[in-house]
Amino acid sequence: MPQELMTAVVQDRYGEADVLYLDHIPRPTVADNEVLIRVEAASVDRGAWHLMAGLPYPLRLAGFGLRRPENRVRGLDVSGRVEAVGSSVTRVAVGQEVYGIAVGSFAEYACALETKIAAKPARLSFAQAAAVPVSGLTALQAVRDGRVQAGQSVLVLGASGGVGIYAVQVAKAMGALVTGLCSTSKADTVRSLGADEVLDYRFDDATDGSHRYDVIIDTGGNRRLRDLRRALTRTGRLVIVGGENGGRWLGGIDRQIRALCLSPFVSQKLGSLMASENAEDLEVLTAMIDAGVITPVIDSVHPLADTAVAVARMVDGSGCGKQIIATR
């Protein structure tokens, strides 16, 4: 019996957005612990870009393909309906609306581990739900790692980015006084998310030491460690999220390594975050969304055929909020 085909965005070599193209490929089949999702929407995140570009190079050595991508289909964030379930799946059922993290969500169908999806928040559309998983999980865990408490002063660097948008909202939900750093054109959006103060990175030096913060969540990826420490209180906590502009080999992780090595010898707690993709934290986000304390921000919605446009817009940073891929 011939295998059913689906439309997907694929790549045969590493590179920028122009390596992506539409193709008809076999629909994936589920393993025992997987769920097949009929994709309604997906979104673009930095992780998907790293896999597309094959950067930094150690990523390729980690099993994603040395000369070309092992998996041709990109995309991590997903929302949609359960089409089929593996024999050991018990948490979700066929027909249920879900969201979470899948393998190859820039397609009509994608497989996800049962442990990486949850019921879609009732108040969100599929497009809104697809904007949440990777960035929302990262932000939630960054705020948690920072041990943010009510009344503390929190600085979010890159407050208008994918992770920053959620970090502002989660920190506010914890009762913190939040300062967001972004560009002028995005200040109103960050302010609408609850930030108590918004600084423009082109004119305001948030790390000049004129104000010290209890917690800094750095999603920007390029500030020197000594500058970040200068903006922390004596016992403040730094959480570095990801790393950009760090070259093809290190990808920015050298800064994180230096922070971890220095932390035991200073009064400040300096660390980095490796986000965990898990259903339990997705359910925490769902509860916050349903309570109205977290709202996704969408910049643009693109058809599947324009996925390369969405990726390019995410990379150039011109938008504010998530780039959504609508498959239907």
Omega cis (within 30) before 2: no
pLDDT of residue 75: 94
> How do residues 24-36 score in pLDDT, each as one tens digit?
999 999 999 999 9
pLDDT of residue 34: 97
When comparing pLDDT for 278 and 67, which is higher? Answer: 278
pLDDT of residue 245: 57
Give the span between the Cα atoms of 216 and 30, in whole angstroms.
41
Calculate what percentage of the chain has a pLDDT beyond 90: 77
Strands (E), 221-282: 232-241, 269-273
Of these ranges, 1-10, 54-63, 87-96, 316-325, the one predicted with the greatest mean pLDDT is: 87-96
pLDDT at residue 63 tops 90: no
> How do residues 221-272 score in pLDDT, each as one tens digit?
678 899 999 999 999 999 999 765 556 656 667 788 888 899 999 999 999 9
pLDDT of residue 136: 98
pLDDT of residue 259: 87
pLDDT of residue 129: 98
Confidence of residue 145 (pLDDT cuts 50, 70, 90): very high
When comparing pLDDT for 245 and 146, which is higher? Answer: 146
Confidence of residue 54 (pLDDT cuts 50, 70, 90): confident
pLDDT at residue 71 tops 90: no
Rounded mean pLDDT, 290-310? 96
Backbone phi, then psi, for 35, in 5-degree steps? -125, 135
Please say whether the dihedral angle defined by the alpha carbons of residues 38, 44, 47 and 48, taken in this order, is positive or negative: positive
Exposure letters 235-251 (e unless 16+ CB within 10 A, then b):
ebbbbbbbbeebeeeeb
3-state secondary structure 288-314: HHHCCCCCCCEEEEEEHHHHHHHHHHH
